[in-house]
Structure 1
Amino acid sequence: MEYSKLKLSEEKVFKDPVHRYVHVRDRVIWDLIDTKEFQRLRRIRQLGTTYFTFHGAEHSRFNHSLGVYEIVRRIIDDDFHGRPEWNEDNRLLSLCAALLHDLGHGPFSHSFEKVFHLDHEEYTQKIIMGNTEVNKVLEKAGKDFPKRVAEVIAKTYEDKLVVSLISSQLDADRMDYLLRDAYFTGVSYGHFDIERLLRVIRPREDQAVFKYSGMHAVEDYIMSRYQMYWQVYFHPVTRSAEVILTKILHRAKELHADYYSFKQHPIHFYSLFEDEMTLDDYLKLDENIILYYFQMWQEEEDPILSDLCSRFMDRNLFQYAEFDPGRQFKIHSQLEKLFREAGLDPDYYLVVDSSSDLGYDFYRPGEEEERLPIYLLKQTGELRELSRESDIVDAISGKKRTDHKLYYPEDLIYSDSGNLEVKREIRSILESL
C-alpha cells in the first residue's frame, strides 16, 4: 500500500486538556510527530513571556500544533467527508499543514522575530522543504508533497478551502489557541462553543463557511477573541517582559558588533548577529538555550546586559504609564534627556510599546492586510457576510484598537543613588502621565 494511505495497526491517542483526546490513525502524521523538528516545539512556549503574568501559561507550540491538527481532522472526517465541495484527495495535505503550521517558530516567537527580522512562516517552509526529518517523511508521501504542504503554509495553494482551514478569520489555528490559552491562563474570556461551530461548518469553493443557524456561536467566538487579545495577549505586564527580552537581545547584538569580550560567548547567536543563519543553526535554538545565556549573562561586566538579564530571570520588570506618542512626543524627548543625565541609557530603559488589533474586518480589495470575511450560509444557499447579519460583530467590525505604554525601571528612578534632583524631575513627569 502507498505510504500516504497507510494506517496504524491501532489508533494512537494523546490525552489533551482542551479536546480530551487527539486521535492519530495515519502513519504519515504519526511519523511527523516523531521527527526532531516537531519535537523541538516542546521547548517553545505557545505564549512567550505571558507566564510572567499568568503563571499557568507554560504550554508549548507542541500542544497547540496537535490541537490544530485535531480540529482539522474532525472538520474533514466528521463534517466535510462526502460533501461534493470537498476534495478528499486534500485530506492528508490538510492534516499535515495543520500539524506543521507552527514548525518554524523560534524561542519567544514574536519578540525574537522582531529583533532579528525573521518570519516564522518562512522558516516553517524552509523546514518542510529542507534537509530535515520532516521533509523526508513528507517526501515518502509523494515527491511533490512537501511543496504542496509549504504552499498551504504560504497561502498560495490552489485550493483556497484547504488554506482557509488553518489561515482565515475563523480557522482551526485560532479556535485552538483561544481555547488552549484560556485554559492555561485560567481566564474565562476565551471560551466559546467549539462543538457548535464544528457542527455548523460547511465547505465551499474558496473557504469554509458556517450555517446561518450557528451565527450566535460565531459571535461568541469573535467576542472571545476580542477579549483575549486585550485581557491576555496585550497584557501590560507581559509586554514589560517582552520589552526587557527584546532589549537583552539588542544589547547582546550591539556588544558583539563592538567586539565586546563576553564571559559567556554567545556562540548560538553568532550566525544571527552576523546575518548568516543556516537552517541547522535556527533549529538548534529553543527557549532553554536562550534562558541559559540570560542566566549566565547576569555575571557580565557590561552593566546594562547584566541588569536586564537579572530583571528577566528574577521578574523585576519595568513599570508602565499610559502614553500617547503622537501627542506626547515632546515629553518623551524631555525624558530621554533627563534619563541620560541620570546615567540611564534611554535606548534600554525608556521604551514606548504599542499593541493594536483588528478584531474582525470584512474584505477590502486592494488594501493592506486583506482579510476574507466570515460568511453565513442561509437555507437558500445564499452567503451573507457576518457583520451584515450580526449587530454585535458590526459594532467592532473594521475598528482597529491601539494601546500605547511607556516602560521604565521604577526601582532605579526612585532609588536614593545618583543625581537625585534629576530623578525627582523624572518622577514628577512620569507621575503626571
Structure 2
Amino acid sequence: MEKSNKNKIIIGAAAVLVAGIVVIAAILVSRQQKEKRYYAQLQNARIYITNMDYDSGVEAYKAAIEINPEAAAAYIELAEAYIDMGDYTEATYTAELGSLKSGSRSFEALMNKLDEIRDRGEVVAIDVADGKENRALDEVRENISVRYGMIENAANFCYQEYVNTYGSATMSKTSDEEGYRAKFQGFGGYAYFKNTSENRNVIDEATRRPAKNAKPYKVVVTSPDLLFVGYGESVSKARLGQMFGIDIAPVYDELQKKYFVEFEYMGCRIRLETDEKGNLADEPVLELYPLNLIKEDWVEEETETEETEEVETFTLGSFTYTYDVTSIVIMGENIGDLSPLSECKDLRELVLISCTVNSLEPLSGCSSLEILDLRRTTGFSDLSPLSGLSNLLYLDLHSASDVSDLSPVMGLSLKLLHTCETGITLEQAQDYKEAHPDCEVWYDNHTI
C-alpha cells in the first residue's frame, strides 16, 4: 500500500512537471512569434522609409509598437522618420513616449538631437512623397502637465465631499435637460446634478439640494489653469496625446459648431474643445463626466453635521477654506497675508496667478506641497521658505518679476522649474539644471 502511494506521488509530480514544461514552452513560442511579427513590421518600415514612402513607413512603425510597446527600436526609428519629415512635435512625443514605455536610456542621444534642432531654430527642407516642402521648426517641448487631483476629485467626489472641501454651494436650475448647477464657494468651476430614470434620488427638487452621496453627472472647468499645470495660451495636439496617453482625433459637434476630443481617463469621460487639428482651443470648453454617479461606499459619520458647523476656517482673498484643504486656486486677487497657510499640513497644490502677496514665509509649514504655481504673482522675492519643502515637484515662477535669487531652492529635486521673465539669471538656471538634470528647466521661454 505504501509503495502504491509513493508511485502515485511520483506520477503526480511528474504530471505537474510535464504540465509546467508545456506551459513554459507555450510561453516561449508565443514570445518568439511576437518577436518575429515585431521585427517583420520593423523591416517593412525600414524598406518604406528607404523608398521615401514615409506614410507607409510611419504606419508600419506604429504597427510594430502595437505588437511590442516596450521595445525601444521602433520608437527611435519612428522619431527619426518624423525628424526627416520635419514634424518635430511628433518626433519629440514619440521619443518621450518610447523612453517612458521601454525604460531604455538609448533615447538620450535622440532627445539631444531634437534639442539641438530646436535651439538652431532652422527651417528644414525635406523630400516627401508629394514633392519638396519647407516646414518651420515648431516648439517641441511644453511645460504643461495634468492636475491629476482635479480629475481624481471629479471622478470620486460626492456632493457632501465638495461641500466639505470647497464650502457651501449656490444652486440654480439651468434647464430641464441640464438640471441644477452648483457653484461651490472655493471651487473654480461648476458641478451639475439631475435626476434620471436610472438615478431618481440625485437631487431633491423641492429643496434644490443633491443627496449627500450623489455625484455630479458633469463638472465644467472654467479655466485651463485649473486642469493643467503651467498652462500658457495653448496645448498642442502632441502634448495632449502625451499627457493622457491617447491618439487625438477631434470630432466636429454640429450642435455647438466646435471640435472636441473625448476619452476615458481616471474614472471620468473627459471632453476637451480643440481646433480642427487637435490642439487645445483658446478659452476651451473643458468637461469631466464621472463614470459612476453614486458613491456607494460613502458613509456619513453621525456627528458630521454638527461638527461641520464648528470646523475652523480661514479666508484667503475672497475665498474661505478649512485647514485640511488640499488644493487652492486663486487668480487675480490682492491676497497680501498668507499666514493661514502655515497650518495647512495637507495642502498639495497652491495656484496663485496674477496675485499679490507679502511673503512666502508661511509656506514653510506646508510640508505636503507638491505644486506651487506663482505665475505673474508679485510682492515677494525670497524663496528661502521653500527650501525645506521636500515634496515640491513643480515650481512655476513665470513673470514673478521680484524674484532674482534661485539659490534657496537648489536642494529641491523638482520635475519642472519655470524662471521665464524673472530676475533670475541664465547662469542660475543652468546651475540648477546641472544639479538636477532630470528637471525640465525653463528660461527665456525655452528649455535649458
Q: TM-score, normalised by structure 2?
A: 0.22
Please tell me whether Structure 1 or Structure 2 has the larger radius of gyration of its CA atoms: 2
Which structure has the highest helix share of the two? 1
Q: TM-score, normalised by structure 1?
A: 0.22
Per chain length, whose mean CA-contact separation is higher, i.e. which structure has more relative contact order (CA < 8 Å, sep 6+)?
1
Which structure has the highest strand share of the two? 2
